[in-house]
């Protein structure tokens, strides 16, 4: 179903997927006027893609999108995200890459269904220990952040198979729980570490 985001008739529709990519700063006024106002009422929404919209904040109403499984907010101008998003317990994919985030809410540790978390290309220097409770997480993207440490609790991510790091990460050492015999192992499995090398 094609939806015209300029028309304020979104709420009564049983929309499950919604995507807007405004690749121009001028388009954000339209987004602010209508979509922010009505999107919180799309209670059947399962996938929301708002990448490349120059967003500077996430409406608190998004925390009411309880059916959401995929949330893409990458390539915006976000400096923070609401802690209330940690209540989206059906969320499986969360993309916050390429923003300006300086912190991740500890409440994100409650995203019990999450298997893919993209935090790459932000301004993160640390992560909350609560992320160690994401028992279904298989992908964790941390590259292009000035990380100086990661909590030892991340050693509890027993489902993790892909961890992405980069030279920009300033980690002096990986968590001891992950190291064995000079190679990175976790949960009895070798983790595939992808290094992103910046120019």
pLDDT tens-digit profile, the chain (199 residues): 444 444 444 444 467 777 766 554 434 545 554 555 667 778 889 999 999 988 899 888 889 899 999 999 999 999 999 999 999 999 999 999 999 999 999 999 999 999 999 999 999 999 999 999 999 999 999 989 999 888 878 877 888 888 888 767 777 656 555 544 344 555 555 556 554 445 4
Per-residue pLDDT, 154: 80
Residue with tokens 């709420």: 11
**Residue 95 and residue 91: Cα distance in Å, rounded?**
11
Q: What does pTM read for this prediction?
A: 0.80
Per-residue pLDDT, 21: 64
Instruction: Please give the structure tokens belonging to residue 25.
Output: 């700063």
Q: Which of 159, 50, 78 has the alpha carbon at shortest distance from 113?
A: 159
Per-residue pLDDT, 149: 83
Per-residue pLDDT, 153: 80
CB 64 within 8 A of CB 87: no
Per-residue pLDDT, 193: 57
Could you give the domains of the chain?
17-23+44-196 (3.80.10.10)
- In angstroms, the Cα distances linking 141 to 1, 10, 96, 121 are 32, 33, 10, 9
């Amino acid at each position: 179903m094609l939806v015209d985001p300029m028309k304020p008739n979104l709420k009564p529709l049983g929309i499950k997927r919604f995507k807007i990519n405004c690749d121009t700063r001028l388009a954000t006024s339209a987004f602010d006027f209508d979509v922010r106002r009505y999107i919180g009422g799309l209670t059947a929404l399962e996938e929301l893609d708002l990448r490349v919209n120059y967003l500077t904040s996430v409406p608190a109403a998004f925390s009411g999108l309880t059916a959401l499984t995929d949330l893409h907010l990458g390539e915006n101008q976000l400096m923070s995200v609401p802690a209330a998003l940690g209540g989206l317990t059906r969320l499986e994919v969360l993309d916050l890459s390429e923003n300006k985030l300086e912190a991740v809410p500890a409440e994100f540790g409650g995203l019990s269904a999450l298997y893919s978390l993209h935090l790459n290309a932000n301004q993160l220097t640390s992560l909350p220990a609560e992320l160690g409770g994401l028992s279904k997480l298989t992908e964790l993207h941390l590259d292009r952040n000035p990380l100086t440490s990661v909590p030892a609790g991340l050693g509890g991510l027993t489902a993790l198979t892909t961890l992405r790091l980069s030279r920009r990460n300033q980690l002096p050492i990986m968590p001891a729980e992950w190291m064995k015999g000079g190679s990175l192992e976790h949960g009895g499995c070798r983790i595939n570490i992808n290094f992103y090398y910046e120019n």
